[in-house]
Amino acid sequence: MSALLSEVRAAIDEVRRAAELDHDGPRRQAAAWLDDEFAEVRTRPELRAAARRASGLWGGMGSFSDAGSPAGGRAVDRLGRALSRARSWFVSEG
C-alpha cells in the first residue's frame, strides 16, 4: 500500500509541475487539493476512499482531464492510472 500511495503522491507532484510550466492556476489548485486529500492517508480503506474522491475531477471537455499541453496530458494520465490502481480492491494493506 505504501508504494501505491507514493505513486499517487509522485503523480500529484507531476501534475503540479506541469501546471506551473503551463501557468495553469486551476490545475495547480487541484494539485493542492489532492495533496490535502492524500496527506493523512494511512490505511488501505483511506487510500481507496481518497482515490475515489479524487477521481471526481475527471469529466468531459473543460474538465481536469482536458489538459492544455503534452506535459499536462502525461501528468494527468499518470495520475489517472495511479488513482485507478488505488481504488482497486486487490491491493494489500502492506
pLDDT in tens, 81-93: 999 999 987 766 5
Pinpoint the alpha helices (H) of 1-94: 2-22, 25-39, 44-54, 70-87
Nearest to 16 by CA among 63, 79, 86, 80: 79
In angstroms, the CA 53 to CA 74 distance is 21
Whole-number pLDDT of residue 56: 87
In angstroms, the CA 49 to CA 4 distance is 14
Grid coordinates given for 47: 487510500
Work out the average pLDDT over 69-75.
Answer: 89
Give 5-26 pLDDT, tens digit per residue. 999 999 999 999 999 999 989 8
Q: Are 40 and 75 in contact (CB under 8 A)?
A: no
Does the structure show a pLDDT above 80 at 60?
Answer: no
Query: What does residue 88 show for φ and ψ, rounded to 5 degrees?
Result: -65, 145
Residue type, 15: V
